[in-house]
Structure 1
Amino acid sequence: MSTAAMQKTEADQDLEFPIPPGVFAERVVSVKHYTDRLFAFRITRPQSFRFRSGEFVMIGLPNAAKPVFRAYSIASPAWDEEIEFFSIKVPDGPLTQHLQKIQPGDTVLMRQKPTGTLVNDALTPGKRLYMISTGTGIAPFASLIRDPETYDKFDQLILTHTCRDVAELKYGEELIAATREDPLIGELTEGRLHHFTSTTREDSPQMGRVTTLIENGELFKALGTQPFDAAEDRVMICGSMAMLKDVKALVEKAGLKEGSNAEPADFVVERAFVG
């Protein structure tokens, strides 16, 4: 029996419902709640599972004959031995109302085929990579900033994270600190990985929507960079629908062209959401 088959059989033993075809059943390794709206969790990684840093996958719970699956960006890098996710808590969300209650040892279902546009392959080479996120939209960038390939392709990595409150920025702050101390890629980040945060409700050192901070130049002033330049800058965007629309318009106005896996270009947008 293959390793994957053994994992599936073992995981299936204590499940009330059978595992759908094309789905892994994995154990929850750890869970961390950041606020009453945000939490992160890690699950075991199937030996046969391969993905590119920045991709998303469909996940669900074994709590129904036809479980609800939602798209979740993988927050761990492609080399990690576990799979990490960063999730919002939706009180009446078909999936997240149950997912937010998981504990170590529980089972999470994961479809076997990852996909997504927030990958290095969808961008042409450039000097600096802006990764612009709101809320849990930081997840794919948590994967990319921990991947050596990203540092091979860009001289500078700039991760922006905008949330309503200061506490919601903590995941990103811990992420940056851990990445800089990581034995595999810590040295690569020195002087090259930059983190910019802002809040829209609670007072913090930097206030405002990221779109406003791009338009008024405060983002570039704080980073010591120039406004978007299609010759040097590449941009990835992930977060709320309003932010995606507004930032896309701003980068297009600056002359950047949208790319894809089939046709790499200057910027990419992720439109996968959870609920």
Structure 2
Amino acid sequence: MPDTQTVTSVTHWTDRLFSFRCTRPASLRFRSGEFVMIGLAGENGKPLLRAYSIASPNWDDELEFYSIKVPDGPLTSRLQHIRVGDPIVLRPKPVGTLVHDALLPGERLWLLATGTGLAPFASLIRDPETYERFGTVVLMHTCREASELEYGRRLVESLKDDPLIGEMVEGRLLYYPTTTREASPRMGRITDNLTSGKVFADLGLPAMTPGTDRAMICGSLAFNLDVKAVLEGLGLNEGANSEPREFVVEKAFVGDGI
């Protein structure tokens, strides 16, 4: 089958979350934050494909993806069982709105995610261009339980030793993980922590303004709409590749049921 790549590693983070890496087509070029269609060959010979954000940065030799497991999901019920050496289908046509080109220049970049919506930001926080464009990068990630934050926590922790961007992220990447169900050092929904001003107080940052702050949003449809309303209330406007503004929303993020 054309567009077939090979799985090179698989990590199961919880009973609902896993990440995997695969070979990268030599011809594939993408902007950090974009997504591609990936999947598995179907029983009828047609591949079953879904949109997945690329979690690896654009300079990586391999591709990385971060996924939920849905027991009866048409794709993830099978995808969660992949092993090293297995083939997967990848359509090498990256697209997406969570890219630097869709934002106006600014001082701070806010990356706002729930669950596996973290994936495009896992790419962006490893991209030198992110730190060339913004003085401060704030990664807010919210999940129900602390174990669901582990993929992001380990990734952020590893960046200080990264030979390419280790020096860039020092003191400039601010990580703000919270839980909504399980008790943890920091709790609360992203919308609540923004509207109450708690995140600004905790990180010692001024409140968001359209003049200095830019944001990217990736999560469930309900989350995206809620955060969009908060940002618009702060005076920020939604942008696109064709018309850069103060924030962008990933409209193709796949939530439950995949």
Conserved in 1, the CA contact under 8 Å of 2:218 and 2:253? no
Matched, 1:101 2:81: yes
Distance 1:244 1:110 in 2: 26
Displacement of 1:273 in angstroms is: 3.0
Report the secondary structure of 2:94's partner residue.
coil
Other-structure match for 1:46: 25
Distance 1:29 1:222 in 2: 39
Contiguous gaps of at least 5 residues in structure 2:
none
Report the secondary structure of 1:36's partner residue.
coil
Report the secondary structure of 2:47's partner residue.
coil
Distance 2:235 2:67 in 1: 33
Distance 2:79 2:251 in 1: 21
Matched, 1:204 2:184: yes
2:101 paired residue among 97, 107, 121:
121
TM-score (norm 1): 0.91
Displacement of 1:207 in angstroms is: 1.2
* Aligned residue type for 1:118: L
Other-structure match for 2:143: 163
Conserved in 1, the CA contact under 8 Å of 2:5 and 2:87? yes
2:3 paired residue among 24, 27, 44:
24
Conserved in 2, the CA contact under 8 Å of 1:70 and 1:273? no
Other-structure match for 2:128: 148
TM-score (norm 2): 0.97
The number of aligned residues is 254
Conserved in 2, the CA contact under 8 Å of 1:117 and 1:260? yes
Conserved in 1, the CA contact under 8 Å of 2:25 and 2:92? no
Distance 1:151 1:177 in 2: 17
Other-structure match for 2:225: 245
Give the number of the structure whose alpha-carbon radius of gyration is greater: 1
Other-structure match for 1:134: 114
1:63 paired residue among 35, 38, 42:
42
Report the secondary structure of 1:143's partner residue.
helix
Higher strand residue share? 2
Matched, 1:271 2:255: no
Task: Deviation per CA, 1:187-229: give whole Å up to 9, x if none.
Answer: 1001101100100110001111111111111111111112210
* Aligned residue type for 2:16: R
* Aligned residue type for 1:228: M
Distance 1:29 1:187 in 2: 28
Distance 1:71 1:179 in 2: 26
Conserved in 1, the CA contact under 8 Å of 2:97 and 2:248? yes
Displacement of 1:63 in angstroms is: 3.4
Task: Deviation per CA, 1:110-159: give whole Å up to 9, x if none.
Answer: 11200000001110110000000000001000000100111111000000
After the TM superposition, list the runs of 4 or more consecutive aligned residues in structure 1 that deviate by more than 2 angstroms. none
Matched, 1:79 2:59: yes
Contiguous gaps of at least 5 residues in structure 1:
1-18
Conserved in 1, the CA contact under 8 Å of 2:117 and 2:253? no
